[in-house]
Structure 1
Amino acid sequence: MEGGMARYLKECRVSCKYSWDELQALCRKQKLVCKQLAVAEDDFNDYVVDYLCNYKKIKSKEYFLVKWKGYSESENTWEPHKNLKCPQILQQFRQDMCLALLYAKIPPDSSSLDASAVSFILQRAKQRVKLRRWEEDLNRICQHKGRIFVRNDVDLDGPPRDFIYIHNYKIGSGVVLNEAALGCECTDCINEPVNGCCAGASDNLIAYNNNMQVNIQPGMPIYECNSSCQCGIDCRNRVVQRGIQYDLCIYKTANGRGWGVRTLEKIPKNSFVMEYLGEIITSEEAERRGQMYDQQGVTYLFDLDYVADVFTVDAAHYGNISHFVNHSCNPNLQVYNVFIDILDERLPRIALFTTRAIRAGEELTFDYKMTIDAVDAESTKMDTKFSLAGIADTPINRIRIECKCGAESCRKYLF
């Protein structure tokens, strides 16, 4: 009984009665350092600008209404330009002010702002604060080298609601995982594999070269070394388990495709980028949820059909950065099935590798209706209803969504 109660309480969450700003203020007043609230020791004696709320010019001198970090809005103060040591915040404010004046059809050299302009600037400032906090939360949760950044220069949307970022599969009801019991005894798994290393034990090829780039055809499985192996984390047959290695950015697209993901670094061809993570559920539960997603016009169901269509990954409410990757009919990412600690062929990990070299700033995409013309082609067949509600197989019941990928080979519709 006690064990069951402990497990129940572990999943329990209680909302805090204090706001973020109130908690920051309490920490500052009590001189408590809190990394989660971004309160450092340097903040105890110095006032830090959170964002700027308003603007006015008096006798050619500029004044800004300042929201101070860790203090409530009732404690905002007007400060002359010379008192502000925050060039980036000032630059962002001026950009927002120019847009606000443009929308309100007010001359750009106005000495004050009207209510609509102030409202727009305040919404933009609060949006940035929310996105910055979300960005900090994502990087605190993540356990990999690559950092995640968040940008929205398109609209006033903040972080997505009802979405929890995870760094490993969430196990749903009715799913039982059996971890690997055997490991390799290699000292150099790539160049001198003992008995074929982990891949050889499963009658498969080692998937990576010395640069940890995939060198097998799509559709073939990848077997990485696991926690029972004698080799260490530096082993070159440990790629997917290292996590994201490149700095990536979740950003709002400007052509109506919602959020997307772009790389901030150059990524070589055949390199691992990210896993597709979510909640592992049974195919029966996937069908039930799919019918529910029909009403919403979107789904994130991905069948794990390497040997049998038994389990599905649902990234709608639990997932990682792959949740935000958009579709393209000419993608730069390719799906592979990967096995590490769990060798159950019904439960592969879904890894995304580059199909070509990707330049910094380029959007990352994969084909939502991907099929592979290779041996074991069924092993990486994507759920044909991925990103689209509609479990029903009858074409008359299927919703047709226009594809906006912009590729020359675009199929015009996702499905």
Structure 2
Amino acid sequence: MAENLNAEVCRVACIATVDQLEVICREQGVKCEELGISKHNLCDYEVEYLCDYKKKVINDGNTQIVQELYLVKWKGYPESSNTWEPRKNLKCVDLLNQFWEDLNAEMQRQKKRAAPRRLDPATVSQLIQRAKLRQTLKQWETHLNSLGTHKGHIYVRNQVDLEGPPKNFTYINDYKVGDGILLNEVSVGCECTDCLENPVEGCCAGASQHKFAYNELGQVRIRPGLPIYECNKRCRCGIDCPNRVVQRGIQYSLCIFRTDNGRGWGVKTTERIRKNTFVMEYVGEIITTEEAERRGHIYDKEGATYLFDLDYVDDEYTVDAAHSGNISHFVNHSCDPNLQVYNVFIDNLDERLPRIAFFATRGIKAGEELTFDYNMKIDPVDAESTKMDSNFSLTGLPGSPKKRMRVECKCGVPTCRKYLF
């Protein structure tokens, strides 16, 4: 029977990783084009990270030479294979710079002016933990970007402590619908050939008796509190239509970073963001208000909440981003925020289930943290805008807000209200 097998279509999965295969090839002196191992780099070994540092004095006749040595963790090899290598053997400039950045930070923490000739075990342990953490965060960063459909890149950085990726959290790019909740998709779309310059019957916004939300640059031009009706999948226009902004996803590169003042993780932009432009959606699991009340009591005991009311017309549903969400899960509160909430409708026109979109309230500089007001209120300038409050902070609590434990605000702005709730 084996003689009848076609070797060309017979495939067996390899239980070894690519890194393990590279190690085997180098140990056995085997060149492999698929793995990028040639006669030119067969004897090259990759540094995974640097573990330790010391200075060694060598007597050369009447001269004493101080040699710098680094303990190297080799990629694909166990820690028992670590070796001390002189600086001249190491070509990993970025890893060397990173090692000294970590070591200098540790020396400052210990209130020491410079690194000693030989590091103590506690310092070495700290450096190894930080190197391993950086690897873990890099793997998480790669995972986050593999899931995204947006233009920008997500970076992950922690220069503050040894906290790794959040546990029991799944990154998603769209709403996760809870039990017993139905999203009714639109059955009609617009017939426009140019939704901005020549809208037929006001395009999608006009059909819903509302204003066209964007200008030619995709910046929102209506007041907070008014809804945004974008073109949907039934519309004649394409994805480049100026009335398709939120649905195109995040356009900026953003960084999830560890804050240094006890606020946990935060999000900052790595590039300039123009005023009134779309930044991100608040994504999570859609649940009923009753379920939100139950979860709210649990989250209160944990000292955090990720519940956001969908109360554009009725307070029936809530978005819970505690365990399923996107990058907005990590955005912190500020009493003087640079993000504003808008309710957006695209493929679902049920006014009880809007999408929550954040737009920039002003120009935001590269490196600036992104924030929104957890207790945001919309000025009731007309009957329409009174429909929308964010009520992020009060979700899940029956009765008076006074029943909630007061949480100190750490946003640090001059106009800080001192407490989140």
Task: Pick the TM interval, shorter chain.
Answer: 0.7 to 0.9
**Given the alignment, which residue of 44, 47, 50 partners 1:49?**
47
1:70–1:410: structure 2 CA closer, same or farther, 3 Å change rule?
same
d(CA) in 2 for partners of 1:355, 1:107: 44
Q: State the distance in 2 between where 1:304 and 1:106 align.
A: 52
Q: Distance in 1 between matches of 2:356 and 2:322?
A: 16
Structure 1 position 354, deviation (Å)? 0.6
Stretch moving more, 397-406 or 140-149: 397-406
How far apart are the structure 2 equivalents of 1:395 and 1:357? Answer: 33
Residue pair 1:186, 1:197 contacting (<8 A) in 2 also: yes
Distance 1:346 1:157 in 2: 38
For the structure 1 residues 119 and 306, does the alpha-carbon distance in structure 2 shift closer, same or farther, using more than 3 Å as the test?
A: same
Q: 2:344 is matched with which residue?
A: 338
The equivalent of 1:370 in structure 2 is 376
Is residue 357 from structure 1 mapped to residue 359 from structure 2 by the alignment? Answer: no
User: Separation in 2 of the partners of 1:273 and 1:391?
Assistant: 29
* Contact 2:155/2:256 (8 A) holds in 1: yes
2:183 to 149, 156, 177: 177
Q: Distance in 2 between matches of 1:247 and 1:107?
A: 37
Paired residue for 1:99?
Answer: 105
Bigger drift between 58-67 and 195-204 goes to 58-67
Q: Is the 8 A contact 1:199 1:206 kept in 2?
A: yes
Amino acid at match of 1:26: Q
- Paired residue for 2:136? 130
Separation (CA, whole Å) in 2 of partners of 1:69 and 1:380: 54
The Cα of 1:101 is off from its aligned counterpart by: 4.0
Which amino acid is 2:246 matched to?
Answer: V
Tell me how far apart the structure 1 counterparts of residues 164 and 372 of structure 2 sit (CA, whole Å): 25
C-alpha offsets along residues 225-262 of structure 1, whole Å, 9 cap, x if unaligned? 11111111111111001111111111111111111111
Contact 2:212 2:228 in 1 (8 A): yes
Which residue pairs with 2:94 in the alignment? Answer: 88
The alpha-carbon distance between structure 1 residues 112 and 331, as it changes in their structure 2 partners (threshold 3 A), is same
CA drift of 1:82 comes to 1.6
Letter in 2 for 1:25: D
Distance in 1 (CA, whole Å) between partners of 2:35 and 2:349 is 48
Q: Does 1:380 align with 2:400?
A: no
Q: In 2 relative to 1, CA 29–110 (structure 1 residues): closer, same or farther, beyond 3 Å?
A: closer
Give the structure 2 partner of residue 286 of structure 1. Answer: 292
- The whole-number CA distance in structure 2 between the counterparts of 1:282 and 1:92 is 47
- Tell me, in whole angstroms, the C-alpha distance in 1 between the residues paired with 2:285 and 2:76: 36
Q: Give the letter for the 2:76 counterpart.
A: G
2:367 and 2:111 mapped to 1: Cα distance? 33
Q: How far apart are residue 198 of structure 1 and its match?
A: 1.0
TM-score, with structure 1 as normaliser:
0.88
Going from structure 1 to structure 2, the CA distance change for 1:400 and 1:77 (only over 3 Å counts) comes to same
1:143-222 map, 5 Å:
143-222=149-228
The AA in structure 1 aligned to 2:224 is: P
Structure 1 residue 97: deviation in Å? 1.9
Greater Cα radius of gyration, structure 1 or 2: 2
Q: What aligned pairs does 1:243-254 form with structure 2 within 5 A after superposition?
A: 243-254=249-260
The verdict on how the C-alpha distance between 1:301 and 1:43 changes in structure 2, with shifts beyond 3 A counting, is: farther
- 1:164-192 per-position Cα deviation (integer Å, ceiling 9, x unaligned): 11111111111111111111111111111
Shift of 1:99: 3.3
Secondary structure of the residue aligned to 2:302 is coil
Query: Which residue pairs with 2:22 in the alignment?
Result: 28
- Unaligned 5+ runs, structure 1: 1-17, 32-39
Q: CA RMSD in A?
A: 2.1
Please report how far the alpha carbon of residue 205 of structure 1 lies from its aligned counterpart in structure 2 after TM superposition.
1.1
User: Which whole-Å CA distance do the structure 1 matches of 2:109 and 2:184 have between them?
Assistant: 59
The alpha carbon displacement at 1:346 in A equals: 1.1
Corresponding residue of 1:36: none
Q: Which amino acid is 1:153 matched to?
A: Q
Matching of residues 390-409 of structure 1 within 5 Å? 391-394=397-400, 397-409=403-415
Task: Return the match for 2:318 from 304, 312, 320.
Answer: 312
Instruction: List per-residue Cα deviations over 1:55-93 (Å, max 9, x = no partner).
Output: 122232222122222333233222221222221111110
**Residue 114 in structure 1 maps to residue 120 in structure 2:** yes
Partner Cα separation in structure 1 for residue 330 and residue 415 of structure 2: 22
In the alignment, is the contact (CA less than 8 A) between 1:335 and 1:380 conserved in 2?
no
CA contact (8 A) 1:371 1:377 kept: no
Structure 1 414/324 Cα, relative in aligned 2: closer, same or farther at 3 Å? Answer: same
Contact preservation (8 Å) 2:309, 2:315 = yes
Structure 2 SS opposite 1:335: strand
What amino acid is the match of 1:57? K
Per-residue CA deviation, residues 379-415 of structure 1 (Å, 9 max, x unaligned), is 43112535x8x62434553111111112222111111
- The Cα of 1:201 is off from its aligned counterpart by 1.1
Identity of aligned residues (%): 60
What is the aligned length? 385
Contact 1:279 1:315 in 2 (8 A): yes
The one-letter code matched in structure 1 to 2:51 is C
Partner of 1:58: 56
- Aligned ranges for residues 1-40 of structure 1 at < 5 Å? 23-28=17-22
Distance in 2 separating the partners of 1:104 and 1:210: 55
